Amino acid sequence: MSESPVVPKIAVIYYSSTGTVYELAKSVVEGAEKAGAEVRLLKVQELAPDEAIASNAGWASHAAETQDVPVATPDDMLWADGVVFGSPTRFGNVASQLKQYLDTLGGLWAQGQLADKVYSGFTSSSTANGGQESTLLALYNTVHHFGGILVAPGYTDPIKFVEGNPYGTSHVAGQGDIPIADTTRTAAAYQGARVVKIAAALKAGLS
């Protein structure tokens, strides 16, 4: 009798102000689900005051659009076999909203409960040299401290030679006026599928 296939649990945890990273997150989810995973799409808690959000039409619109997306909790990290984090670039670094969520995980880290999971990341910036790689590298510093297994997409599929960022899927958004290309969406879906592939193999091996 053949064994049942391993079904990894993947959490896609993101922050997005005006929706670009959210759109990338949905493509990551699509790729992960098609690869056979159980997936949770989760946003992190917004830290900006209501008046700041209301002052930007795109920000306010996106907040309303995604009000039903669940907010990530530390329990989601315990549930997941793999986690894909998404953050816009903020001065070449991780957005404070996602960083705040990561900083709440100290208790789980101290118990070793964040180790031996698969992690990956994706990002977006306004300009072509706006710090996408440094943002992902900064994010991955946290993965090293977790004792996580970093699974960047690398150049492991032809789509990556077109989309171009081996550290993680990324998009140049301008002032929100540059739409996400199909190439980038495909790269994000591939990244989700790659995370599932490695998470499933790791889960099967550890079991």
**3 within some domain:** no
Q: Domain containing 16: what range?
A: 9-206
Q: Is residue 51 part of a domain?
A: yes
pLDDT in tens, the chain (207 residues): 456 788 999 999 999 999 999 999 999 999 999 999 999 999 999 999 999 999 999 899 999 999 999 999 999 999 999 999 999 999 999 999 999 999 999 999 999 999 999 999 999 999 998 999 999 999 999 999 999 999 999 999 999 999 999 999 999 998 888 999 999 999 999 999 999 999 999 999 987
Domain-located, residue 4: no
Name the domain count of the chain. 1
The reported pTM is 0.96
Cβ partners under 8 Å of residue 10, min gap 6: 32, 37, 38, 39, 40, 80, 81, 82, 83, 84, 192, 195, 196, 199
User: What CATH number is attached to the domain comprising 24?
Assistant: 3.40.50.360
